[in-house]
Amino acid sequence: MIIVWILLGAALFWVIARTLRKAQTRGGDGWRVGAGVLAAVSVIGAVTAASRGGWLLAVCLAVIGVSLALSARRGMGAATPAQPEVMTEREARSTLGVPDDAGPDEIETAYRRLMRRVHPDQGGAEGLAARLNAARQRLKG
């Protein structure tokens, strides 16, 4: 009977952890808090189970708690902002895909179109977004 409870608990934790991970991909920091709370509850459950003689349950809960705690901790590192690189005007125009005679409106339109595709919130890379920002700054200034 205890195995059934362990399996049900593991399934519940898996569903909750997966839901929290999906929240992470949408850009929210709520998954860290949720993972931390679930880790604490798991460790408390492990201590309670161990004190009552349920060593198998205690080990399972401890592993789940440590895994969730490490997962929440791993995501806490502050990302270092990408430094815009110095580029020539020719490189900037090539990056944005605008001709030599493009005006400010054309440059801005190209920048917005490309940024919609490569923005980190849309699944793009920070390096590409930083390069587009550097190119736009170079052509504006």
Q: Which residue has the tokens 């060593």?
A: 55
The tens digit of pLDDT for each residue in 98-115 reads: 998 888 899 999 999 998
pTM for the predicted model, two decimal places: 0.41
Tokens of 80: 């270092």
pLDDT surpasses 70 at 21: no
